[in-house]
Structure 1
């Protein structure tokens, strides 16, 4: 598979802040790539460096085999979809979509060809019949499609999407996830979708990149990133792992919460993680099986999220352990406040981070 984007040793600083730190990255062509990371991890800076809105202090940016750092943004062959859509309020849907073809540098396309391409793109993104509407007369989801069509009609090799669903309500976000993937697949162009939502990134990306303090924390498919996070930082950001600090002593990981038996790790761990939905809640008198790990906690509260219930248990040292119960096959659990329960998980479900 060919590479559409290559970054080598890219560093970007703002005074004493290092936003990107010797970052290396290669993106395959024809994929939907999600770029995930907490606030301040460098996501937006990375997108701006790729697009040409910022230049790296050190390193190179190569797109489709051509080095482009130092090249103006409008000459990089990249499309950019902004979170706020950045549409022209005085233009119709059709004129917004046509803008890049009519006003781009060196454009010599005939008016009839522009019209045909614009109409075909409007049809592709599901806006047929709205060509003459002003952008203030259409919904948020439709404006998002206009912004996407305006970018795609210029036939970029790479499309950068900066939190493209952030301005939409929850129902629209869910629908636009599927539509964005379908449009990308029909056109075969590479999408690099930046988001702060782990759910959105995992649901949409063929490839998921987790950015951590200006460097790549992990690259993989969604299943690998979710089930086998590469580091404590990645696991913490996924917001679905209980993490315990401690150290290895013999055949056990020792933390303030207790001693957890482990298989011999390849490297000495300093953190132990178990996913919320891997923990079972039992009567405190029930003994664990030979392949299980058990601690005790007092029930504090639960949060109902629709498809699941998240329950919080306080350990003797005061920290909270979170337990997720999926509701697809059973009723919501009921726990007594302040009562102690056994919190049990399979030893092999735990992860160790060095």
Structure 2
């Protein structure tokens, strides 16, 4: 188990990570989701030992990590750009860590070749050892980088946006393969990504990194359906957030007045969260019974294959998104510039305390 406690990392006046706490359990695939510049790579570099925290502690299987050299941590790191040696063959790349590590280095050519072949077979590249790095595809390079990491039998594997350089089709295939490899090895993977879809697809658990802290760490389904705070909801790119002030049992926002799903003291700042796929659209005089609603002007639509997004402008200019699944379409034909009622079941709305950021 990896345990980070009160970890802080500063760069001059900039605080990249602030009093961060995170637990990565044994035998799990955890996704770490965060926006660009949120500190995701910094966090990985602290775990790997490429940087040291300004405060806090890091533990792996009960052993203190901070202050220990990277090559003594038994941690695997798969870089975003793969970091393969172009002058070495695929087999030589995989053998490199075994051959040059400080302790228990493997120098027997036969053992090196056998262990490299086993690692390549594990990632589906049996028979590729003789090839040059320039002779294989991007997806194959990704697998070579993973094999080079796994052959050293690390206690945990860190993956820094490992699918970012791959095309969409290959990315989907590698998602399945990475999960299958991890399950066979029973080693924890910590997979950093800026894609909410990738994070939810890959992770048994998904941790959201926001403002230098973990906003929420939960199972992917629970995180998506019931985020605990506005920061987590915002990073999922599936929730509309409307901020305002509580008064008389409602949240008064520039977009309208919203019934509060729970009690909030008058004058308290809060945000109503409405999920894209839980908003319906109708004429203002045709709102379904029992539904709450507010009005917004239809701007445009965006076709995404199996889904379509409809974009609306609230009276205050806030952009509201509504998703439609083309297999079961539920939205009426929309006219640009026309005002519609956006309605929802009151129990589907979430309320987060605090002002909008």
Summarize the alignment of residues 109-128 of structure 1 with structure 2, pairs less than 5 Å apart. 109=106, 110-128=108-126
Aligned to 1:299: 298
Q: Secondary structure at the match of 1:316?
A: coil
Distance change (3 Å), C-alpha of 1:129 and 1:326: same
> What stretches of structure 1 move > 4 A for 4+ residues in a row?
266-269
Number of aligned positions between the proteins = 350
C-alpha contact (below 8 Å) 1:309/1:332 kept by paired residues? no
Distance between the aligned counterparts of 2:97 and 2:26, measured in 1?
A: 23
Write the mapping of 1:52-91 to structure 2, written as runs, cut at 5 A.
52-91=49-88
Match of 1:164 among 162, 165, 171: 162
What does 1:270-285 align with in structure 2 at a 5 Å threshold?
A: 270-285=270-285
Which piece of structure 1 moves more, 109-118 or 293-302? 109-118
Q: How far did 1:330 drift? A: 3.6
1:93 aligned to 2:90? yes
- Conserved? CA contact 1:40–1:213, under 8 Å: no
2: CA distance between counterparts of 1:209 and 1:320?
A: 26
* Equivalent residue for 2:12, pick from 8, 15, 27: 15
TM-score for the superposition, normalised by structure 2:
0.94
Q: Distance in 2 between matches of 1:257 and 1:71?
A: 53
Unpaired runs of 5+ residues, structure 1, are none
CA–CA distance in structure 2, aligned partners of residues 334 and 175 of structure 1: 36
TM-score, structure 1 normalization: 0.95
Aligned partners of 1:224, 1:88: CA distance in 2, in Å? 41
Residue 310 of structure 1 is matched in structure 2 by: 309
State the alpha-carbon separation in 2 of the partners of residues 247 and 289 from structure 1. Answer: 26
Q: How far does residue 64 in structure 1 lie from its aligned partner after superposition?
A: 1.4
Residue range with higher mean Cα deviation, 317-326 or 47-56: 317-326
Q: 1:273 to 1:331 in 2, by over 3 A?
A: closer
Tell me the SS of whatever aligns to 1:299. strand
Gaps of 5+ in 2: none
For the pair 1:50 / 2:47, whether they are aligned, the reply is yes
Distance 1:149 1:19 in 2: 31
Partner of 2:37: 40
Between the aligned partners of 1:333 and 1:289, the Cα distance in structure 2 is 18
Alpha-carbon contact 1:8-1:61 (below 8 Å) kept: yes
Q: How far apart are 1:314 and its partner, in Å?
A: 2.0
Distance of aligned partners of 1:289 and 1:154 in 2 relative to their CA distance in 1, 3 Å threshold: same
Asked if structure 2 preserves the Cα contact closer than 8 Å seen for 1:269 and 1:352, the reply is: no
Task: Check the 8 A contact 2:82/2:145 in 1, yes or no.
Answer: yes
**Residue 321 (structure 2) aligns with:** 322
Q: Residue 92 of structure 2 aligns to a residue in which SS?
A: helix
Mapped to 2, the partners of 1:46 and 1:235 lie a distance apart of: 21
Q: Quick one: structure 1 residues 96 and 338, their matched pair in 2 at CA, closer, same or farther if it must change by over 3 Å?
A: same
Give the drift of 1:67. 0.5
The alpha carbon displacement at 1:7 in A equals 1.3
Task: Say what the alpha-carbon RMSD is for the aligned residues.
Answer: 1.5
**Higher deviation after alignment, 234-243 or 315-324:** 315-324
CA contact (8 A) 1:11 1:56 kept: yes
The corresponding residue for 2:351 is 352
